[in-house]
Structures are given as C-alpha cells and as structure tokens.
Structure 1
C-alpha cells in the first residue's frame, strides 16, 4: 500500500493562468528528476485544487534538525548540501527559479532529503508580490526586484546557517516585523552561525547572501565546492586548493567542528 500526502492550494478556486502554468512546470520537473507528484484532485465543496504528492515520512529538514541535530556531523551536512545544490542546479538549468527555498520545503523520506514545491512560488490566485518566509527572502526582493535564480542562492545560504546552528535563521526575531526586513534589505543583517563553524563555510554563506545578486555563486559552483569539501574530508585533496583553502585545512576544520556539535542546543522560543 502506498501512502501519499495531499497539499491544498489555498485560493485555487480562482486559480490564475500563470499559476496553472507553474503547476505544469512542477509536473515536468517531477517527471524529469523522478520526484513524486501524482496528480491533482479538487475539493467539491471549496473548488480548491489539491496536489497528490509523495509522503515525506520524516517531515521537513526543520523538524529533522530540531530532533537530530546533535547526531548530524559535518560530513552529513555537506553531503546534504551537495545533494540539494545538485537538484537546484538541474532546476536552474531549465531556466526556472524555486522562489520558496527554505528548510520547510526540504523534505525527508526515509533517509533521503528532497526539495519540494519546485516552481510553485507565490499564491494560486495572485501573480505578484513578496511571498515566502522572511529570513529566506533575498534583499533585492524587498526592494521591489523580481525573484530570480540568484534569489534561490541567497535562500540556500540561509539554509546553510540553519545547518550550522540547528535553529531557523532569526528565530529570535519577529518575522513579520518591518524592522527585520529593513535590517536585512538595507543594513545587511545576516543570520548567526553555530560555535566552531569553519571560517570557509561562513565565507561561502556570506557569498551566497551577498546583497548584490550578481556576486552570488551559481548552484553549479556550489555543487563543485561541496564536492571538493567531501573529497577533502575523505583525505583525497590534501594539497589541492578550493575557495582559498587547502583540502587538509578543510578536513581538519570539519574534524574540530564535529567536536562542538554535542554541545550545541537547538531549543529556542518561537517569537514569530
């Protein structure tokens, strides 16, 4: 027996043509990369569309970090980022952006993480506006610029900070607070890191979250960096260099960072 999940598209009783096109994109991406989107049904009472999708038995990355962060070493984290950057680069190569890339849209089925909601950014009945979770939204979007592939990279950087701390970015601030939006978009406020996070990891996050979208790396570049880091951890790149760090330095830094993981608390009080 197969278990599926049902996702209601709020407001889809009056679905726009543009959003229906996004559903078609989502279907195409799922078929191309083996993600499980089985089709659509409709609520006879509300006339809203409901997606029939793969059931993620272990929930989201956010829930996984809250429960298992202290059991997740840095090699596990880089393996995950390597997989996510691979999936994201394939999506970007098709000319699409995700638009809502965050830890609640990274789901886990058994031991496999996958990105959900490809191409389903925005509301079903509103074509424009700012959408998403504030700490993951790129500063240029707050300033009226459209979402782009580079906006996804900013969001990717925010996910990287969450893997560092075990907590959502800006967990201690009101997410609907205009002061937070101002701090992100104008002042340049960025999320904190966990103790003993390697400096080269922080450096890459800051590059992903650069205020200038043109200065951010591509998903393909991220994939190559993570690939190098994994080879470094395995001792295959000791004397080679990537992102201004030699493989041996990378391996040693992750080894030291692993020692701090059991001491990091992931408990926090929600204020949003």
Structure 2
C-alpha cells in the first residue's frame, strides 16, 4: 500500500493556502478532473468527491475512498446516501439516482474550497441538517469572497447547476483546465491568462479570517428527503450573485466547541436520517446511529 505523507487535500489547503498561486490551483484541479474522467470512462461514478477523499502526494492529487464507487443510475436501499452533505448534489438529496453529474457537482464544491481556502457553507449557523439539505436544494451555494477569474467562475457555476443535465462532462473539465494551465504556464498574455494574473495580484487582499477553524459536516450516511419534483423548490442561475455580493451563505453544522479548536477532519461519524420522519429524527438523533450501508449496484 502506498503511503501518502502529505495527507489529504483538505489538510494541504489548510497548511498552504496563502502560498497557493492560481497555476497551482489549476494544476490540482486538473489532476482531480483527469481522475474523474478515468472513472467515468469505465461507466462508474465516485459518489463522494470532497477534499477529505483527495490525497495530495508529491505534487499530485489522487482520488481515494472508492468504497462507494459504482455504476451510474443506481441508488442505495431506502434512498440512503453516503457522503459529506455540503458536497452532495441536490438531486441526491431529493432521492434521485446517482449519475456522473453528481461527481461534477462535488468537483464544483472542491473548486470553491480551493479558491476560498475555506470549507463550504461556513458563514451562517444552521440549526440542523434539514436546513442545509433544503437550502442546497433551493439553490444556495458556497460563498466566494476572493477575486476569481471570470472563466473559472463560469465553469464553477456550470458544474454546480441545479439541473444535472446542464453540468459539463469530465472531458470538458480536463479540456478547459488544460487550456488554462498551458496559457498561464506559457505566459501568453491572452485574455484568460490576464484574468488569472489579475487574480494572483489580488491574493494579498483575500480573507484574513482563520482558515479551517469551523465545525463542519463529516462524511456520513443519510436518508434523502422526499422532496420530489413538485416541492416548490426553485433554482435560478441568478441566485448566485458572484463573490462580491451578499449572497446567502451557510454553515454546515452548529458548533458545540470553540471555533479556535480545529476539528479532526478525518473522523467519520455515521448518521441516519429517516425519510418519513426526518424532523422527529433530528429531535432524537442520539437514538439512531446505524452501522452499515448496503447499496444495490
């Protein structure tokens, strides 16, 4: 077994964010996109893409935690899903089958995390899991407060589109990121290159807040809500107003400890959310802790 000394991407971002140039961010994302494309070419999807499952090893990023890897268009028993809620695509939270587009959505959240240096949804406390689930399904996405290139923002918005059919394929991710990487590396002074150069110049104006000192969700087992297609939830591309506006932001979970203490991001707790009595479960969360998840592929 290969040992990865530098840990996962989450730790790498936490320890190196202030030194990350845009070409390095693109290089990291390109590695992830290539890994996803290799998985998707086999007809499978990963189902649980997040920075804790991406290993940083000697300058490269490897996709790990393949335990949920399986065919597309397959769902789990009782509409259960496993993963970190803030990275879950809205259709999965609605109980829909897994497709390759689920991984593209997770990739978009990783894009936002490597851009901002913070885990997704860490600005406003939420009282329970239901709030986060409904807000994601209602179109809320992570807030970006730093300068980002327009081309990068456009791709990110496409990747986390509420409609899975509007998201790009992994091949398009590889093509776009490869183009940007080459233009930056070769210093072409093209429009795209200048966008990234400008963003790099603005790095010193980025957030001064402590990074990764927030209570966040960990990968867990949840039962998806029975929202369906007629739940009144609407999403518009205009709901995301860019990184400079006061777009509603979320925190993943209410904190029960000081924000000055960093969470052990490698611990995974298994939590089950009952489909028919989600709210009742939330009131009695301590009484329901499942052990295993059996999925049908």
Length-normalised TM-score, structure 2: 0.65
Query: Are 2:82 and 1:140 aligned?
Result: no
Match for 1:184 among 136, 141, 148? 136
How many residue pairs match? The answer is 207
- Consecutive unaligned residues of structure 1, counting only runs of 5 or more, are 1-52, 239-247
What is the alpha-carbon distance in structure 1 between the residues aligned to residue 47 and residue 170 of structure 2?
14
Higher helix share: 1
CA apart distance, 1:111: 2.4
Larger RCO (alpha carbons 8 Å, 6+ apart): 2
Offset at 1:225? 0.4
Closer/same/farther in 2, CA of residues 114 and 190 from structure 1, 3 Å limit: same
| Structure 2 residue matching 1:171: 3-state secondary structure | coil
Q: 1:200 aligns with which of 151, 168, 179?
A: 151
Q: Which residue of 2 aligns with 1:34?
A: none
TM-score, normalisation: structure 1: 0.71
Structure 2 counterparts to residues 92-131 of structure 1, below 5 A: 92-120=40-68, 127=77, 129-131=80-82
Q: Which runs of 5+ in 2 are unaligned?
A: 71-75, 216-252, 254-297
Q: Which residue of 1 aligns with 2:121?
A: 170
Does 2:162 match 1:211? yes
SS of 2:55's partner is strand
2:23 partner SS: helix
Distance 1:107 1:78 in 2: 16
SS in 2 for 1:104: helix
Secondary structure of 1:157's counterpart equals helix
Question: Shift in Å at residue 109 of structure 1?
Answer: 2.2
Residues 1:255 and 2:197 are matched in the alignment: yes
C-alpha distance in 2, partners of 1:199/1:152? 22
SS at match of 2:144: coil
What is the distance in 1 between the residues matched to 2:174 and 2:186? 19
Task: Provide the alpha-carbon RMSD of the alignment.
Answer: 2.1
